[in-house]
Amino acid sequence: MEGVAVNLQYLIVGANTVTLVAGSLVTWFGFRAYRRTGSRSLRALTAGLACITFGTLLGGLLHQSGLAPLLVGVTVQSGSVAVGFLLLGLSLLQSEETDVEARLSAP
């Protein structure tokens, strides 16, 4: 049974590594798009992606460093994913018309 736990730990580390790399790239692209357009919805999207990505990093570091048991790391990661998805939902609800009107009326 111990061998299975070790193999699962490698799978968790591998999946979190992929999530961290891909999430960082997508977050960076979202941030660049926000800076280019000034869109509030892109800002919320970027914040949500960053929250999910940072939570993955923090949860993994807590467990792998020995500072916290696996359950604490998973809890931190799950909480950040929940907050990240709330921010992603907010980004979808924000009106782009307001963003466009604000940019057009600015001197």
Rounded to two decimals, the pTM is 0.80
Band of pLDDT at residue 105, cut at 50, 70 and 90? low
Evaluate whether 73 touches 60 at the Cβ level (below 8 Å). Answer: yes
66 Ramachandran zone, left/alpha/beta (phi>0; psi -120 to 50):
left
**Tens-place pLDDT, residues 29-82:** 999 999 999 999 999 999 999 999 999 999 989 988 989 998 998 999 999 999
Segment 21-32 shows an average pLDDT of: 97
Measured CA to CA in angstroms, residue 51 lies from 24, 45, 48, 59, 102 at distances of 10, 10, 5, 12, 27
pLDDT at 100 over 60: no
